[in-house]
Amino acid sequence: MSASSPNMVRVSLRVLGESVAVEMPRPEGAIRLDEVLPFLRALEDRVVEVALRHTEAGGAMVSCRAGCAACCKAQPAPVTPPEAYALARLVESSPEPRRREVLARFAERVERLEAAGLAKHFLDRDESLTNEAARAIAAKYFSLGLICPFLENDSCSIYADRPFVCRQYLVTSPAELCEDPFRNPVKPVPMPIAAAGAALQTAEKMLDSPQYTVPLILALEYVARARPELERTFAAPELYKTWLGALAP
């Protein structure tokens, strides 16, 4: 961080040989983990722009376009605990009847996930789970075709607040291959930072407990279990410093 004015702070990262900078209000007081997300989303969006320029400069073109929503119609879309809490607050603050409609979509997807015997695998993590077993669970999840509750008319209805994984997931392979990424050679654009990993690392340090991602569809279920923990507050300067340190160690 570096000061740019008495009330603003400029944060700059070196990404793929380019400087990526974002300004934010000087952090003060005590804040929750999710209250850092707006700044981190802005920073990640700038990083993604750099990654796309480098990818296209190398001759590969991104296939993702408006209305191409294959990744929103079946994939787990893992979200970190701070993101899950932010999504829960977003739904809770939505006006009626939208709030009721979105809650119904979540409930229908969760019911199907529970019927398939998968919900407990994500909510009650087994640390001994092998990579092979985890992939089998992800493949079974994908086969259910659970559409993101926020997808409307093949567009993201919370685009500005979408999770890290959704911001970073862009491909250069033909769009039709995304219909089955477990069997097709889908080629994601390499990203120079791991925003979700940094979020987990930061949450683990601040909350002093293991943290995991959950499929977006289980975000409200997870928050119902972990709300007191996710509502804890921390000194803003320390929290920002910890999160930025995790992004750029």
Q: In sequence order, what are the residues at sequence separation of 6 or more whose Cβ sits closer than 8 angstroms to the Cβ of residue 176?
A: none
38 C-beta neighbours (distance < 10 Å), count: 13
Q: Would you state the pLDDT for residue 217?
A: 97
Q: Would you state the pLDDT for residue 5?
A: 65
203 closest CA partner among 43, 83, 91: 83
Q: Any idea which residue has 């961080």 for tokens?
A: 1
22 closest CA partner among 5, 43, 44: 43
Q: In which band, very low, low, confident or very high, does the pLDDT at 182 lie, cut at 50, 70 and 90?
A: confident
Q: What is the pTM of this model?
A: 0.94
pLDDT digits (tens, 9 = 90+) for 217-246: 999 999 999 999 999 999 999 999 999 999
CA–CA separation, 123 and 105 (whole Å): 19
What mean pLDDT is reported for the chain? Answer: 93
Cis peptide before 97 (omega within 30 of 0): yes
pLDDT digits (tens, 9 = 90+) for 61-98: 999 988 888 899 999 999 999 999 999 999 999 999 99
Report whether pLDDT(126) > 90. Answer: no
Cβ distance 139 to 156 under 8 Å?
no
Is 7 strand, coil or helix?
coil
Summarize the confidence of residues 104-114 as an average pLDDT: 98
Summarize the confidence of residues 199-224 as an average pLDDT: 97
High-pLDDT (> 70) share of the chain, %: 98
